[in-house]
Amino acid sequence: MIPLKKKLSCILLIDDDHATNYIHKRVIDKAKITEKIVDLESGYDALKYLEQTDFDAYPRPDIIFLDINMPGMDGWEFLEGYEKLSPEHRSKIVLVMLTTSLNPDDKNKSDSISTIDGFKNKPLTYQILQDIIDEYFADHK
């Protein structure tokens, strides 16, 4: 458990692999840092989620963990759509690429996109969560 004075409202997982989402949800759940975990298996569904205006039914994520390699719409294509969202729909979201890619070009590309706050290798671990909380959510501690 990561001790927080105030839990995050939502963490969004975007990964086409159901088993990966399950494992990552368990890690997040055990850390007890968020009220809600949403897992979506496509970039299209994630953009639709983020476009919603009913923030009670579709809480704004504090963190998005985004896979790169997905069918239909990969992580890079998702980012193109994400950057077109209104500031209200993407403000104050920490976006972390969470991938198995060992391609240095992917890391370099992510470094050049200001919307991306981090680039981490799967699987999501307790330590990765701790590092993100320490860096971006110190006011919750």
The model's pLDDT over 92-128, given as tens digits with 9 standing for 90+, comes to 899 999 999 888 999 999 999 999 999 999 999 999 9
Contact 74, 68 (CB under 8 A): yes
For residues 133-141, average pLDDT: 91
What pLDDT does 115 receive? Answer: 94
Show the tokens assigned to 9: 């409202």
Assigned superfamily of 8-140: Response regulator (3.40.50.2300)
Q: In this structure, what are the phi and psi dihedrals at residue 138, rounded to the nearest 5 degrees? A: -60, -30
E-strand stretches of the chain: 8-14, 34-40, 63-66, 94-99, 118-121
- Per-residue confidence (pLDDT) for residue 91, from 0 to 100: 80
pTM value surpassing 0.85: yes
